[in-house]
Amino acid sequence: MDDSEDEIFEDACEFQVRDELDLDTALLESKFAVDLFFNNKFDEARNILAPWVGKSMYHTMGHAVFQFLEAMLTFDQEAIMKASQALKGCISLCNYYRRKLTLSESIGKMIVKKSNYEHVSSEEIHAELCYAEALLLKSLLAFIEDETLVSFIKAGMKIRSCFNSYKECSNILKSRDWSHEKHVVHIQSGVHVGIGAFNLMISLLPSRIIKLLEFIGFSGSKEIGLNELKAGYKLHEGIRQVLSVMTLLTYNLIVVYVLSHEEGDLELANEILCLQLKSYPDGAWFLYFKGRLEFMKGNISEANEWYIKSWRSQSVWPQFHHLCFWELMWTNSLIQNWTEAAFYASHLLKDSKWSKTIYGYQKLSVLLMLESLTPEQEQQLEMLTKSIPEWRQRFAGKSIPMEKFCVRRCERYILQKKFLVLPAIELIYVWNYFKILGKKWDLCHAVYKLILRALADFDRGKFAGSEFENDNRALLLLLKGSCLAQMKSPLQAEDCLKKVATMEKLIKHDRFIVPFSQVELALVLHSQGKTDTALYILDNVKKNYTGYSLESRLHFRIHSAMLDFYKKKSTK
């Protein structure tokens, strides 16, 4: 710590020996703990919060957030239980301090009478905000805490209560006089991030789910969500400003690239990261996001440098390394460094508890891309083939769609006598990384050559007579068409993707190939100005194809594309 940090730490220690903790002190210490946390000083941050857990809302909330992050990063059952208990305690404490409605106010709410918020104390609104945040984290935790359908329903109810609390905070913020309130910036930052995150999250969901949510009182607008989050990001003094920062970075650098055909706002991400890295030059989170920014630009070597820097920046939370290993597995796959990709897949398989099935199949797929295998690698393939189906998890009685896909591909590997068609390239496509290939001609062309070589093998009859011949050929045409689209050859791409549609009745097993190829065709047609035809194709896929692998993943992309196409049509 530098001299200024020493002084603040000494002040914080003085605060901790008091019998009571006022709101000013709670906010000051919590802000200091946040700064320590994002500078990788995790233990120091915990030590600041620990003495007042169960007594101070902000200390209790901060402690619960740290427990929650550890649970989400590790998927360790003990960590999940600790996080659940911490959040329960936080919710109970916030409930104690939250505003209690009088009988007349309760009746007024039922008849939609406007509330008088002038008498709401500062402590009560801070309690409402902390309550909403703890409830949101508790509901998210429910999805991995318990696998029963009842837990999912409970999670949905918590999210609704959380949403209502954020709306209540927003109403209070708009309705009362804050001219004498020195803590208003903390409340503003909380409301912006809460309302913004909810709008953004709901706007991403497919239309059939949005209709259901609107029926029970939810609504979402991407524009409102992003504007709220940007407003929260600009409140640099707000204790929750960093939550807006993290949400904007996650959305623009991860969510957009997984769930849609669009690009994230890389200029905004770069602006945010420049500021955050000045404040937290060794912070693992922001070093990771910097790597992700370079990755999304197609700058693979620069991305690798930042990911490795993030990985090596701290050792207190080794589970955070897994995020970097996941990214390094993909960056090396895109440059066809299969040995290095397998190295990171092995680390994930060995140490991470998120999904051994997915990690195992990722490793199997990159090993199969090698021209020759060592005896040890041959043994690893044998082990993976047997273990991948056994590792599959179930949530609420259902398999994770990507795990189900990996198991089916593993079964195909056995049925095809230890052979798969460009499995790692297929995974790059399925995880929506072809758009990153499109950022650099060399990357895309190298993958294109692999696809052409595989198609040439089929044309020579190398795999003739197999019951999977047409499925495999259709897959290669999908990959070729998608690659050509990224290489800015729309007419050739269109030809490839239309050929896939003509093979629909010949495809016996991989029914996902046709709807995926139709969505790719719609994107190609839109790029040529044929938006009406593109919208017709997307609507047709949504209505007439069902029950195929990774259907939900494709519906997210369809929803995003249709919103984008209709918006562009309306602005012409």
Task: Tell me which of 544 and 142 has the higher pLDDT.
Answer: 544
426-432 CB contacts, 8 Å cutoff, 24+ apart: 426/365, 426/475, 426/479, 427/333, 427/361, 427/362, 427/365, 428/330, 428/333, 428/334, 429/478, 429/479, 429/482, 430/402, 430/405, 430/550, 430/553, 431/258, 431/330, 432/257, 432/258, 432/259, 432/557
Return d(Cα 323, Cα 288) in angstroms, integer: 8
The pLDDT-based confidence of 8 (bands split at 50, 70, 90) is very low
Q: How confident is the model at residue 569 (pLDDT cuts 50, 70, 90)?
A: confident
Task: Encode 115-129: b = buried (16+ Cβ within 10 Å), e = exposed.
Answer: bebeebeebbbbbbb
**Alpha carbon 425 to chain centroid, angstroms:** 22
Write down the pLDDT at residue 99.
81
- For residue range 274-331, list pLDDT tens digits in order: 999 999 999 999 999 999 999 999 999 999 999 999 999 999 888 889 999 999 999 9
Mean pLDDT of 481-487: 97
Q: What is the pLDDT of residue 213?
A: 62
pLDDT given at position 156: 62
The pLDDT tens digits of the residues spanning 40-77 come to 999 999 999 999 999 999 999 999 999 998 888 877 77
Q: What percent of the chain has pLDDT over 70?
A: 88
* pLDDT band for position 343 (cuts 50, 70, 90): very high
Q: What is the model's pTM?
A: 0.89
Find the range with the poorest average confidence among 82-86, 116-120, 273-277, 370-374.
116-120
The pLDDT score that the predictor gives to residue 129 is: 93
User: Average pLDDT of 542-568?
Assistant: 92
- The pLDDT score that the predictor gives to residue 144 is 64
Q: What was the pLDDT predicted at 150?
A: 56
Fold classification of 15-100+120-174 is 1.25.40
For residue 18, what pLDDT is reported? 42
Which residue, 535, 536, 525, is CA-closest to 481?
Answer: 525
The answer, yes or no, to whether residue 149 has pLDDT greater than 70, is: no
Higher pLDDT, 514 or 219: 514
Q: What is the pLDDT of residue 17?
A: 40
Domain locations in the chain as residue ranges: 15-100+120-174, 182-264, 327-521
* Per-chain mean pLDDT for the chain: 88
Give the model's confidence band at 3: pLDDT under 50 very low, under 70 low, under 90 confident, else very high: very low
**Is residue 466 a contact partner of residue 416, using CB atoms and an 8 Å limit?**
yes
Q: Considering the chain, what percentage of its residues have pLDDT values greater than 90?
A: 67
More confident position, 125 or 512? 512
Please state which of the ranges 141-145, 256-260, 282-286 shows the lowest mean pLDDT: 141-145
163-167, 204-208, 528-532: which has the minimum mean pLDDT? 204-208
Nearby residues of 176 by Cβ (< 8 Å), 6 or more positions away: 117, 118, 120
| pLDDT tens digits for range 21-35 | 788 899 999 999 999
Higher pLDDT: 347 or 172? It is 347
Specify the pLDDT at position 215: 56
Query: What pLDDT is stored for residue 466 in this prediction?
Result: 85
Residue 83: the pLDDT is 93
> Please, which pLDDT band fits residue 178 given cuts at 50, 70 and 90?
confident
pLDDT-derived band of residue 15, with 50, 70 and 90 as boundaries?
very low
3-state secondary structure of 395: strand
Tracing tokens 């209502």 back to the chain, one arrives at 164
